[in-house]
Structures are given as structure tokens and as C-alpha cells.
Amino acid sequence: MLKLVLLCALAVFATAELSEEEDVLVLNKSNFEEALKAHPNILVEFYAPWCGHCKALAPEYAKAAGMLKAEGSDIRLGKVDATEEADLAQEFGVRGYPTIKFFKGGEKSSPKEYSAGRQADDIVNWLKKRTGPAAAALTEVTQAESLIADNEVAVIGFFKDVESDGAKAFIKAAEAVDDIPFGISSDDAVFSKFEVTEDSVVLFKKFDEGRNTFDGELSKEGLLSFIKANQLPLVIEFTEQTAPKIFGGEIKSHILLFVPKASKDFQDKMDNFRKAAEGFKGKILFIFIDSDVDDNQRILEFFGLKKEECPALRLITLEDEMTKYKPEASEITAENIITFCTAFTEGKLKPHLMSQDIPEDWDKTPVKTLVGKNFEEVVFDPTKNVFVEFYAPWCGHCKQLAPIWDQLGEKYKDSKDVVIAKMDSTANEIEAVKVHSFPTLKFFPAGEEHKIIDYSGERTLDGFTKFLESGGKEGGAPAGEDEDEEDLDLDDVEDDSDEGHDDEGHDEL
């Protein structure tokens, strides 16, 4: 009996260790297993107290936890301070903040990465999709009304026969979309309430025209295209919350209007921007960015803009390589925007490559300073072997490398055929090299072939020296084969202090 009492007491004590803050479970190494047993479906955020993205997520994360708790859901949200719980962070491969993982069915070995937006509704909808039916059965009008009222965007399939081919295609589409709730109904009253007379799919939203009705052939692919084209506002503001939707969407061509929201003519600029957007729906995403917000200054820098130059337009494609475009006309009018976007869709625009002016003393120091305007002349000099560091002024890893790079420049300052150079890639761009992370180190050997070799060895004076003395063989790799490089993500431009520091010592742009 005494043994039983002690076991019960220990069980109560273990459960009590699962403390909460604003309905979010506070997890650590000692109670993590207990949490998974008590709550088989749990979403866990690994955060850092100093992380700006984490601070922005916190109220929405707590709101989502409260929503689920109020519904009586068995899904819970938890959080782990990864700076204090290094073992847990390492166990689950945490490399940036926040990292959010879903543990389903108490299973610890293979959690699923959270992949939706960072607003409460996004979180709740994603979790419900992971634990329930892809589309909720709507047997009453009030259920359909609640689905629409409670969500920014909701999709309802109206099917007289829920076993029909069209209904099955609808369910497949619902299974493929994580961040939007779906409902399906065959109820006559529901059809009547929403003035639907035949099998149909309707997207309801709390912006723009309010609802969109699918008018194509009912197929998974057709429905997904319809949803992706209509789920975002015609014009959307770039914020911490909307960034995942913007960059996670299928539309990879974005036109950005940098404009101070506090300006007197803000609404006039937005009216022109919105008018132009109507003709490019589903082709180009129209985004505006408040140029007065401190957190957005890095994005302006990425496009070579300053606050005083705004309002300004830029267009970017987020395909395999980011490509930027700048309009010829600076005035923000619907006509100018339409002309700019039309030229882009017709393939008539040339990429806009930024370049600083050539400094007068660019070659007066052991490490030569390159900009866009002198880059090719220097690196493709057939008589020189040129080793270049592509850096960002704010990059922590670049700052660590700087003294070593200066030592390397000093070592070869009197060499007749070796040049050590650096280029600020936040202010200069060249066609020949696409920089994906910082610092990026590339070697341009002498000759007429214009060869480019990536450096992937140790970032030490000895490592660099061996690389150069071997002609780019020891510690080198053919350009483009560095598997540790990670792709550019414009979202990371917003705050590099929180994310993007990988184990190989790169700062992503």
C-alpha cells in the first residue's frame, strides 16, 4: 500500500511539473517525456528569449493555445527555451529561432515541421488538419456560418453527393492545404443559405470581394490553383505575420511598394497600386512595405534603397535565383505600374544590378575593394589569380573572418599574380556570381576561361594559403557544388540575428 501511495504521489508531482504560461506548456528536458504522455498531440516552439521573431510570435502562439484549450481540444501547445535546454535543441535539430515542431500521437522520434503562418488562426487550422478530417462535415447552416466567421479565409465544397468524383477531388485539395480550413456539405439548407444551386466550391474571405466561386473543371490541381490565386488580399502588407504566407505561396513574382504609411499621400499611392494589381492577379503578388519601420530597413538595403528615396517600386522573382527589377519611371501611378509589370510578364525587362561607385583608393590596401562597376575587370584579368570574399556589413561570421582576410591580403600584397579582394554584396551585384549566404568565398584563377572555384576549406590563414598555393585545388570545389550553402530567403533579410546561422558558419541573407 505504501508503495502504491508513493507511486501516486510521484505521478502527481511529475504532472505538476508541467507548468503553463498563457495556456502554453513550459517544457524542459526533465518534463518533455511526461508532456508527450499527457498530451499525445503537442506543438512545440523552440525559442530564444532575445529572438525578435520569437517575440513577435509569442502573443499569437498564446492566442492559439487559448483557442484550442477553450474548445476542449486535446491538442496542446508547448515551448522550450532552446538557449537553456541545449540538449533538447540539439536532439531535435534546432538551427534557428523559432523552430516549431509537431509531435503527434506521443511519438518523439519523427516530429513534423510546422509549415504554415504565424497567426493564431494559421496555427489552429494547421493543427486541426493534422489531427482531424481534411474537410469538416457541415450538416447545419450554423456550422457553415461559424467556419466562415471564425476564419480569415475558409473554403466550402457544396456537393449533393459527397462521394462524387468532384467531392473526392475537393477532399484531395483540402488534404494538400495546411493553413486554410475546409468544410463540405450536401445539406439543402446550407446550399440555400449561400445561394448555391449546383455542385460548387466557394472560397470565403474577409477582404477584397468577400467570396470567389470556382468555375473550372473539378480537379485537385485546378482547385489548388484557384485557392492559391484567391487566398491572399489583392494587396498585402509585409509584416512578421504575413511573411510566411508571402514567401510560402506559389506566386514567386513579387512587386514591392516601399512607402511610409504615415505620409499624406499614402492612400493615393495605395489606390494606384491596388488598381494596377487587378490585372495581374495570380501572376504577380502586390506587396507594400512601410519604409519607416525600423525592422524593414534591412529589406530596403537589400534593394539598394534608403528611406528618403521612398516611395519606390521594385520587382523580384523568387525562383532558383533571386532577380531584381527597377522601373524606368519613378512616379507611382497605376499606368506606370501596369507598364512595368506588363514588360516583366512579357520578358522585356533587364535585371537591375546594384553597384556602388568605384572608391578612389580601391586598390591602395592589401585587400582590394570591389564593386559592381570594377568587378569583372579585376576578377577576369587573365594574368591574375583573384580570391574574393563576398560579405555583408552586418554578418557576424564576416566580422570574425575580417582579421584573417586582412592577414591574407598582407601575405600576398607584393605578389604579381595573386589578388585578395572583398565585395559588399548587399550593395553590389554581378551577373557572374549569385551570392546565397555570407561570407561566400570564390576563387577566379588566371586564364581566359573565366573559371570560378568555390572555397570550402578551413577559414584559417593556413587553409587559405594552401588553397592558393595549390591553384585552388586544396579546399576548393567547382562553383555551385557547395552543398552546405543554403538558398537565399528574402524573409531572413528582416532579422538575421534570429535565424540563418548554420553550422558551417554562414549568415544567410
Rounded CA separation 351/302 (Å): 15
Mean pLDDT lowest for which of 30-39, 161-170, 468-477? 468-477
Residues identified as active-site: 51, 54, 395, 398
Give the model's pLDDT for residue 464.
95
Grid coordinates belonging to 168: 473526392
Contacts of 133 (CB under 8 A, 6+ apart): none
Contacts of 233 (CB under 8 A, 6+ apart): 207, 208
Q: How far apart are the first and last CA of the chain?
A: 63
Q: Does domain 136-229 have CATH number 3.40.50.720?
A: no
Question: What predicted TM-score, i.e. pTM, was given to this entire model?
Answer: 0.64
Grid coordinates belonging to 24: 502554453
Q: Are strands 418-424 and 367-370 parallel, antiparallel or unpaired?
A: parallel
Top CATH class, 20-131? alpha beta
Residue whose C-alpha is closest to residue 199's, from 152, 167, 243, 233: 167
Give the model's pLDDT for residue 295.
85
Residues of the chain with CATH 3.40.30.10: 20-131, 136-229, 236-346, 368-478
Q: What is the DSSP letter of 240?
A: T
Q: Which amino acid is at 156?
A: I
**365-417, pLDDT tens digit by residue?**
999 999 999 999 999 999 999 999 999 998 889 999 999 999 999 999 999 99
- Buried b vs exposed e over 135-164: b needs ≥16 C-beta within 10 Å? bbebeebebbeebbeebbbbbbbbbeebee
Mean pLDDT lowest for which of 88-97, 212-221, 272-281, 382-391? 88-97
Q: For residues 300 and 306, is the Cβ–Cβ distance under 8 A?
A: yes
Q: For residues 222 and 173, is the Cβ–Cβ distance under 8 A?
A: no
Mean pLDDT lowest for which of 83-87, 174-178, 220-224? 174-178
**29-69, pLDDT tens digit by residue?**
999 999 999 998 999 999 999 998 899 999 999 999 999 99
The superfamily CATH assigns to domain 368-478 is: Glutaredoxin (3.40.30.10)
Fold designation for 236-346: Glutaredoxin (3.40.30)
Residue whose C-alpha is closest to residue 373's, from 353, 355, 351: 355
Q: For residues 376 and 428, is the Cβ–Cβ distance under 8 A?
A: no
Kindly tell me the sign of the dihedral angle through the C-alpha atoms of 244, 238, 502, 88: negative
